[in-house]
Amino acid sequence: MINKYIQQSYKILEGEELSRELIDKLSELQGADVMDLMSLANKVKTKFAMPMHVCTIMNVKSGLCNEDCKFCAQSLHNNADVERYSLSSKKEIQEQAKEAFKYDIKSFALVTSGTGYKKANSEFNKIIESIDDIHEKVEGSRVCASIGFLSDETAKALADHNIANYNINLQTSVDQYGKLISSTHTIEDRIDTIKLLKKYGTKVCSGGIIGIGESMKDRIDMAYTLKELDVDVIPLNVLVPIPGTPMENNEEVDVYEIAKVFALYRLINPTKVLKFGAGRETIMKDFQALLMLSGANGFLTGGYLTTRGRDSKEDERFEKQLQLFS
């Protein structure tokens, strides 16, 4: 028999919002009930959040970051063995973008390590040039960016250059950010940048990480903060523990817990793009397809910032097969 809290949740298919109380009850489900929850999340996705969104990223500047994010290989506070390089050239970026758009992807994102750009300095202007260059050379291309904290000036400049989405992850709940993520900046710095992007009409991509020592309450709190901020795309990553970071020995979260998180995010944010980011192939392995059927309607393909992903061709086939469940 179907669990009573899942039964009550079917009203979401009629457009009704679920209460936080009901979401909390769903988060306690165990065993076979989790499959029913995933099935509902998949129905919600099919009704409110299709088609699929697949994107890819390029790390255009790597390592040497002054911030101390505990999960991150690029922080100077950690001892991870990571490639370090300054901003890639316009030609290198253009070549990689052209290659990426040969596949069925929605967007290509330029990602830099570091705190961000509060001033339109020469490095920021080079990034803008690269964005313009891809728009010009690859017809119909959608270019995204993930380059840290912004000011009014730099947020406006990105909007003026037609950035498709801007990624800045909250990573975890407002309450736990200082403890679980960083002491060199605050989650409010991230929220301020999101508000500036919204002010200039840029679509915001913001999510977080599962497996950093957070509780289910933290995960749900983050989903509601993202809802309040009205972000457009929510990437959920599963921690890939990197040697040399304080999270290198973090325990893996059980697959069914992760499935619940994806399903709950879909129920809390029914119409948004919910993307599976890092950890899909490397950590979830056999279960990646199952998780994609728990409410996610997008994924990141072709590799992550400091860890490898799966071949884009293989992912293209994966995407087509997933659509048969919609």
Which residues form the interface with ligand SF4 (CB under 6 A)? 65, 67, 69, 72, 74-75, 113-114
Q: How far is the CB of 13 from ligand SF4 (least distance, A)?
A: 37
Judged by CB, which is closer to ligand SF4: 42, or 167? 167
Q: How far is the CB of 105 from ligand SF4 (least distance, A)?
A: 23
Q: How far is the CB of 57 from ligand SF4 (least distance, A)?
A: 13
Judged by CB, which is closer to ligand SF4: 147, or 155? 147
Judged by CB, which is closer to ligand SF4: 212, or 283? 212
Give the whole-angstrom CA distance, residue 38 versus residue 23. Answer: 13
**Residue owning tokens 């936080």:** 20
3-class secondary structure per residue, 117-134: ECCCCHHHHHHHHHHHHH
Judged by CB, which is closer to ligand SF4: 90, or 114? 114
Q: Is 234:168 a contact under the CB 8 Å cutoff?
A: no
Judged by CB, which is closer to ligand SF4: 145, or 255? 145
The count of residues in the chain is 326
Q: What are the residues facing 275 on neighbouring strands? A: 235, 298
- DSSP SS3 for 135: helix
Q: Is 74:82 a contact under the CB 8 Å cutoff?
A: yes
In eight-state DSSP terms, residue 209 is E
Q: How far is the CB of 246 from ligand SF4 (least distance, A)?
A: 12
Q: How far is the CB of 207 from ligand SF4 (least distance, A)?
A: 13
Judged by CB, which is closer to ligand SF4: 69, or 134? 69
- DSSP SS3 for 163: coil
- DSSP SS3 for 80: coil
Q: How far is the CB of 146 from ligand SF4 (least distance, A)?
A: 9
